[in-house]
Amino acid sequence: MLSLSKFSFSFDPLHLTWHHVDPPLVWRIDPIVALVGRHVVVAGGACDFEDDPLSVEIYNLDSRRWSTCESMPAILKDSAASTWLSVAAHTKQLFAMDQVSGITYSFDPDSKIWSGPFDLRHDQNIYFSVFGIFGDSMIMVGLIGNSENVKDVKVWELKGESLEFRREIGVMPAELVKKLKGEQTSLNSVRISLMGEFLYIYNPGEPEELAVCEIDGKGVCRWRSLKNAAGSDGSKVADRMVLTCADVGLADLGRAVGSGKGSFSVVDNGNFEQF
């Protein structure tokens, strides 16, 4: 979380512990933020009439200091915000992709250098795409056709530093695509979250329903839908919903219950309960 007075972040699965540090030098409204090794990278999202909209700053978790570095590539100027970029990161690199064009760059926080571009539009019928880290490789989800007529939602595996297309993993069943659209007549975008063998896909405009793709060790995927507990509680008070997933163990749940912080929601066979 970013404000004029501080930058707050949390690493534990249920966000029980928060770290509060001085904010970046450049004020940002909608930046991309990612943990890359022992660095927190904050890029883009600045007001171009006041600051460089492509500026990048890195917070070193060991020295507890901010440093500036090479700005984002100029071609991303019109999309240098979390609303328009899909971001994936592992321990050494950050990847940022324009969700509409598929133009992608990588960033190394140690050398502070951007590399690319990489073109992730192997299929010209893709009109929107997002990606995320999946084990030792990367998963990309693409919408095929156009927002008024979605022909398919496909999942691919990417491999290597230049993000080559390795294979198509699967295609979302038509009934799940319909659920993703909800009451809307079009599907302009999707968001994803990954953990273990599970890929969760949701429509930010209709977040009540999640499409779940379970990918086993042989690369075979199984599809199903899941109710979003946070989107089904009837509150609807937020302007934007961000969904994440984490590997939560019994010890994590025990600490969370003992802390008395926050609340827990459970969906069982479509029934919603909050604790």
Find the DSSP H helices in 31-184: 174-181
Cβ atoms of 7 and 20 closer than 8 Å:
yes
Nearby residues of 65 by Cβ (< 8 Å), 6 or more positions away: 59
What are residue 19's phi and psi, to 5 degrees?
Answer: -110, 135
At residue 270, does pLDDT exceed 60? no
CA distances from 163 to 37, 77, 103, 216 (A): 20, 22, 11, 21
pLDDT score recorded for residue 247: 83
pLDDT score recorded for residue 257: 81
Q: Which tokens go with 23?
A: 């904010």
* Mean pLDDT of the region 160-170: 89
Using alpha carbons only, what angle is made at residue 89 by residues 87 and 91, rounded to the nearest 5 degrees? 170
Q: How confident is the model at residue 237 (pLDDT cuts 50, 70, 90)?
A: low
pLDDT in tens, 102-148: 999 999 999 999 999 999 999 999 999 999 999 888 999 999 999 99
At residue 175, does pLDDT exceed 90? yes
The span from the CA of 32 to the CA of 45, in Å, is 7
* CB environment 22-46: b (16+ within 10 A), e (fewer): ebbebebeebbbbbbbebbbbbbbb
CA distances from 135 to 20, 194, 196, 218 (A): 30, 10, 8, 13
Cβ atoms of 96 and 76 closer than 8 Å:
yes
pLDDT in tens, 3-34: 889 999 998 888 888 999 999 999 998 999 99
At residue 230, does pLDDT exceed 80? no
* Mean pLDDT of the region 148-172: 93
pLDDT score recorded for residue 269: 59
Distance of CA 118 to the CA centre of its chain: 19
Distance of CA 11 to the CA centre of its chain: 15
Least confident of 12-16, 71-75, 271-275: 271-275
At residue 248, does pLDDT exceed 90? no
